[in-house]
Chain A
Amino acid sequence: TQLLEQSPQFLSIQEGENLTVYCNSSSVFSSLQWYRQEPGEGPVLLVTVVTGGEVKKLKRLTFQFGDARKDSSLHITAAQPGDTGLYLCAGANSNSGYALNFGKGTSLLVTP
């Protein structure tokens, strides 16, 4: 199992602040996905990054895949209460096929 370490584990901020969540591994992944999970629901895919150094933007969310494809970051600009949730990163490689390795998640709380 290839470990994905997410940091921070918990984050509580006020509306309007910026934040960055990190996903790190010692292993190389062919692709990496970010999910958001709300209480009582399943994870929902936000983005998939494939190329080293790739940057993708989804409204106020910016995702980056490290050059060596071992790490990724999620940056949220001007956080809103609706951003509250558990953010999960998941990596896959050609050897694991369909299997995704998930990080333990970052629990984000944005208060008004």
Chain B
Amino acid sequence: NAGVTQTPKFQVLKTGQSMTLQCAQDMNHEYMSWYRQDPGMGLRLIHYSVGAGITDQGEVPNGYNVSRSTTEDFPLRLLSAAPSQTSVYFCASSYSGTVSGNTIYFGEGSWLTVV
């Protein structure tokens, strides 16, 4: 059981470049989300999806796009990378949106550096 798989694990970008962080889950979960983790800031929600074809913004959505064409995949696109987007990115999924009694699974993270 692969769980939540993120690729790439590490990436260095130049300012202004675009790229896509991939996230896939094999648990048939409806809910998927992207967080970024910065030193001293905890995890902050970027975008989330409650099912295929449905996405919504989280706390820090600027500079990122998402789409959900299938239940399994939830890619995060950086449109024009900026040094402020240097961070560790985590994808997460869960069976439902109700937190109580629901386990949220996180991927192993993608380390992104923008120079």
Once the chains bind, are A40 and B48 in contact (CB under 8 Å)?
Answer: no
Residue among A1, A4, A44, A48 making CB contact with B99, cutoff 8 Å: A48
With a CB–CB cut-off of 8 A, which chain A residues contact B35?
A: 102
Name the residue in B35, B44, B99 with the highest tally of chain A Cβ atoms < 10 Å from its Cβ. B99
Q: What's the dominant secondary structure at chain A's contact region?
A: loop
Flag whether A88 is at the interface (Cβ < 8 A): yes
Q: Does A13 contact B (CB under 8 A)?
A: no
In the complex, the answer to whether B59 meets A1 with C-beta atoms within 8 Å is yes
Pair B59/A31 contact, Cβ less than 8 Å: no
| B44 CB, min distance to chain A CBs, angstroms | 7
Chain B: residues with Cβ within 8 Å of the partner, total of: 29
A30, A44, A48, A99 pick with most chain B CB within 10 angstroms: A99
Look across to chain B and name the residue whose beta carbon is closest to the beta carbon of A45. B103
Scan B53-89; emit 1 where CB is below 8 A from any A CB, else 0.
Answer: 0000011000000000000000000000000000000
- B19 beta carbon closer than 8 Å to chain A: no
Q: How large is the interface on A (under 10, 10 to 19, 20 to 34, 35 or more residues)?
A: 20 to 34
Q: Give the docked Cα–Cα distance between A41 and B90 (Å).
A: 9
A76 neighbours in B (Cβ, 8 Å): none
* Bound complex: CA A1 to CA B100 (Å): 20
Residues of B within 8 A of A103 (CB): 42
| Residue positions of A touching B, CB distance < 8 A | 1, 4, 30-31, 33, 40-45, 48, 50, 88, 90, 92, 97-100, 102-105
**Additional 16 contacts, C-beta under 8 A, given A98-B48, A104-B41:** A30-B100, A31-B99, A33-B104, A41-B108, A42-B90, A43-B106, A44-B106, A45-B103, A48-B102, A50-B100, A88-B43, A99-B48, A100-B45, A100-B99, A103-B42, A104-B40
